[in-house]
A and B are shown apart, each in its own frame.
Chain A
Amino acid sequence: MRTALVVLFTMPCLAGAALEMLPEYARPDPFGGLVAPDQGARNAPVVLRGARGGWISLQFVVKLPEPGPYRLDVRLKAPDGGIQVELFREWFHWVPRQKRYYPDALVPVSLPVSSRLPEPDNRIEKQTAQAYWADLWIPKNAPAGVVRGEARLEAQGRTERLPFELEVLPVAIPEEEIPTIDHNSYGSSWLANFYKEPGESDQEFFSSDRFFELIHAHHRIFYEHRGVFHQLGYGHGGKVGPEFAPALTGSGRTRRVADWMLFDRHYGPLLDGSAFANTRRGRRPIRFVYLPINPEWPASFLWWGEPGYETEFVNVVSEMERHFRAKGWTQTYFELFFNHKKRYKAFPWDGDEARFPEDDDYFAEYHRLLQRAVPAGSPVRFLFRNDASWAMERQFKTLAGKVNFWVLSRSILSWYDYAPKMLKERGDIVWFYSGPPPVTEVSSAVTKFPLTAWMWGIDGYIHWLTVSPGDDPWFAFTGGDTALVYPGARFGIRAPIPSIRLKLQRNCVQDLALLERFAGRRPREELRSEVAARYNRSQPGDWWTRRPRLADTPPYEWSNTDIDEVTDLDERLFARLDAAAWQRVRDWVHELVKEGR
């Protein structure tokens, strides 16, 4: 049976035209080869095996030696277990820095797909290969066993068939997101840059149903890829975007909410889950959301240190608690989070990545204010989140019992191997922060973050600025450093479209969720050892940095250079990562499932 599921680069030839299958991690180029970082995956087998409630991915490559039209179809044969096929055309991004093409953006296409080579809108001279990403969704009720399918290419007057088989495992992927992958963004003005119609005014755009639907579409795409989406709604000076906070009125004792309309229009469908009603994962409220609270909202900084600050803060935050409770928004974590830095000249303390000891006092005061505003036993879940780097070890102590959600520098957290257990035993949520790897790194690079979170036993991580693919991602790409979705407007799609990196990340996280099924049955350290060995021949201890002497000096005396010099995590663990690294882990997880261990 196993051999039937492993297809070795099947390449039927039809007078020069060919259809090829590739595993998800071997990214093709537009000339029939693989991109340079994934060359190690040349001739890698395509293993199509997955669990219920999850996805299997593969790639089809259409190759035509001469320009011309073609038609591609992918069908499953009955009985297909309800498995659904989604196909995406892979956009080849020109990266001027390397003078090379990399595929990443995935443009949804309907089956069968008819096009031609060279692909007209991608504008690649002498293009001879077009890749398609296939996502196969396995419903939760799909029967275990083998499902057969066939890809069919029609070109140059002939038809060629490429059969394949996939195996549905007799288990379902747990719904819980382990780890949580967060995708961050700031404000909403970028949506106008991508999606505002010619001649449409800002006021028309930002008050339209389409604007709010676009926000919800971003939440949906990350949710469907087993992630969450964050949109910070205020600036470093305390300015709050209109749809991120209720409108306020009054001052001092009369400070109160005047209007919930825009806030509810924005957040209502997210907080009651209705924005996700038609997704494969089903309707569920978002798990996390930033509150608009900052030093200037809802209380004016003019009253800081005076009774009026507490009055304004407690009045409005209490109203928020009552509003959320009345609406039944009790399944989401509402985050009190400070993003401002004193370098941006609006406030005297760092809310984000605090460095100087005196700044910790402000956190303590906001904890006190939050306690005053939110009644004990409220079903509304407020968290006090702190994004920490330099001073995390100091703040673990000074803010114990106050901050209960930590988002931490990955480099510096790697010095403190005791921290996850200590924080988790307090009941705190622990993430680290990162940026997605650019497309110019090996395909498996995007799996290093979910795996690090799992190896460290923490709850998740956050990718910074995941909606910003640069000025011209299509023809002058910088590598998509931080973006994991692209604007679909170019293709007539009023929604974000996914990327290969987002798909690879999702597939990795669903494997980790599956692996967690075994955490109670086998020692966790044994699981970590097996995974680390298969991933990059490492051991669990290798995933930490030996505590440097720097850690015992005041953080405000460190520089980034100092930190880089004592943190060699990326060089040791990931510099020589190969494209198939995660596939080896996946194969082992599937072995565990099949053996019932």
Chain B
Amino acid sequence: MKPLVFILAFAAAGGADTPSRLEEVARIASVMVDGDVAKRIVTERAMRYMLKQDPRDPYLASDNYDVNHEAFIQTKKTLMRLARLVDFPSDVNLWMPIPTDPPRIHLVIRNVNEFSRFWRWGALHQEMFPEMKQVLATGKPLTLTDRPGWVAVLAPVYDSRGDVVGLVEVVSRMNPDPRENVK
């Protein structure tokens, strides 16, 4: 019964074919998002601070977070255009792994609807999610509908060597809250 309710609800919002339409956006995103540019977004300095911890200064890493503007803007605009491929509210977010042991991952670019199936609001980086690990390892997209009201498609981002260097999260939400995260 639950899947039926879910599909009907999406029929009222984005349409019953929401998952397949987001999968199509994700397929295009895998082609259009430039992994070499994506790797240049976060500055080397910011990456060095990313995992530093100072018990007296809990904001050490986030205060030193910085990006290369050109790479950020170029990629963000691509993500925004991708989100416009569907006629219902969606976001296309960029995630990049952090080569640590155990591996971590960080959201690099997110967008106006504040949709993310994974991001803990305000987190600079997070533990690697199994779903993301799978996409990074296999290069195969993954569609997630396990959280009620959400559809997210993860798809690989490639660099010029053909390596999977990150992933996009193409995501939409049934009944988005227009006031959530206005803070």
A: residues with CB less than 8 A from B are 186-189, 202, 206, 232-242, 244, 296, 300-302, 304-305, 341-349, 355-356, 358, 390, 556, 559-561, 564
Contact = CB atoms under 8 A, between A and B. Distances in A.
B110 A189 contact: no
Nearest to B83: A302
B177 interface: yes
B56 A304 contact: no
Nearest to A560: B57
A235 B182 contact: yes
12 contacts: A186-B182, A202-B177, A239-B112, A239-B182, A343-B65, A345-B109, A348-B69, A390-B63, A556-B64, A560-B59, A561-B56, A561-B57
7 closest A-B pairs by CB: A187-B182, A186-B183, A348-B72, A343-B62, A189-B179, A560-B57, A241-B182
B142 interface: no
Contacts of B59: 560
Contacts, number: 98
Q: Give the secondary structure class of B's interface.
A: loop
Interface stretch (B23-31, B73-81, B153-161): B73-81
A163 B103 CA distance: 73
Given A348-B69, A356-B66, A560-B59, A301 B80 contact: yes
A187 B63 contact: no
Contacts of A244: 182
Contacts of B108: 345
Interface string B73-95: 10011001100000000000000
B114 interface: yes
**Which range contains the number of B residues in contact with the other chain?**
35 or more
Contact of B54 (A237, A347, A561): A561
B122 interface: yes
Q: Give the secondary structure class of A's interface.
A: loop
B16 to A, nearest CB: 23
B67 A348 contact: yes
A241 B178 contact: yes
A188 B182 contact: yes
Contacts of A346: 109-112
A240 B182 contact: yes
B120 to A, nearest CB: 12
B60 interface: yes
B73 A344 contact: no
Contacts of B72: 348
B111 A237 contact: yes
A551 B73 CA distance: 32
